[in-house]
Copies of this chain bind each other. A is one copy, B any other.
Amino acid sequence: MTVTQSEPVTSGLAATAERPVKVRNCGPPPLPHPKPTGQDRYTISEVSEHTGLSAHTLRWYERIGLMPHVNRTHTGQRRFSNRDLDWLSLVTKLRLTGMPVADMVRYAELVRQGESTFAEREQLLTAHREDVRQRITELQSTLDVLDYKIDIYADARRASERF
């Protein structure tokens, strides 16, 4: 199955500190950024290419406060960093799992406000995790229904093929 494009997700927190080694889960798979730190200045179309988000959407994300401030050239063009890419990959995951944009904006705000918001961030993510778990359960139960019905159709097909 889709092991979605790998992505080092570490933006809400300092991507700086070395990543704590977790036993139960080694964390998101750290896949290389297209450009090494130091030369990580991506144009909007490069980011669009990399993330699959349209340039329009990227600008819109910034407008609504969903991006943590993107650097600009002296003429005002955006230059995204590896850190921005990390953030976008988190955002994309959260979106795909149905977190409303408003909640993500809230989370982005909290990140901007610094360490004092750790507790609320934890809460927000925990709530979303519960959501996700519940949706997985829902999907599984639908899978049962689908299996059941598909079996019936398949049986009918096989029966008709036999004669």
Residue A22, interface by CB 8 Å: yes
Q: A90-B145, A134-B2, A135-B139 are in contact. Are A126 and B97 (CB under 8 A)?
A: no
Q: Which single residue of chain B is at the shortest CB-CB distance from A99? A: B142
Residue contact B141 to A129, C-beta cutoff 8 Å: no
Residue contact A118 to B153, C-beta cutoff 8 Å: yes
User: A133's contact among B8, B24, B143, B149, by CB below 8 Å, is which?
Assistant: B143
Residue A140, interface by CB 8 Å: yes
Which residues of chain B have C-beta atoms less than 8 A from A96's C-beta? Answer: 138, 142
Residue A33, interface by CB 8 Å: no
The complex places the Cα of A4 from the Cα of B143 at a distance, in Å, of 13
- A interface size (C-beta, 8 A): 55
- Which stretch from A9-17, A36-44, A55-63 is at the chain B interface? A9-17
Residue A46, interface by CB 8 Å: no
- Which stretch from A66-74, A77-85, A154-162 is at the chain B interface? A154-162
Known: A22-B148, A118-B153. 8 other contacts (CB 8 A): A2-B137, A12-B149, A13-B153, A28-B144, A125-B153, A126-B150, A129-B143, A139-B139
In order of increasing CB-CB distance, the 10 nearest A-B pairs are A122-B153, A8-B152, A1-B137, A129-B146, A27-B148, A97-B142, A93-B142, A28-B145, A136-B139, A118-B153
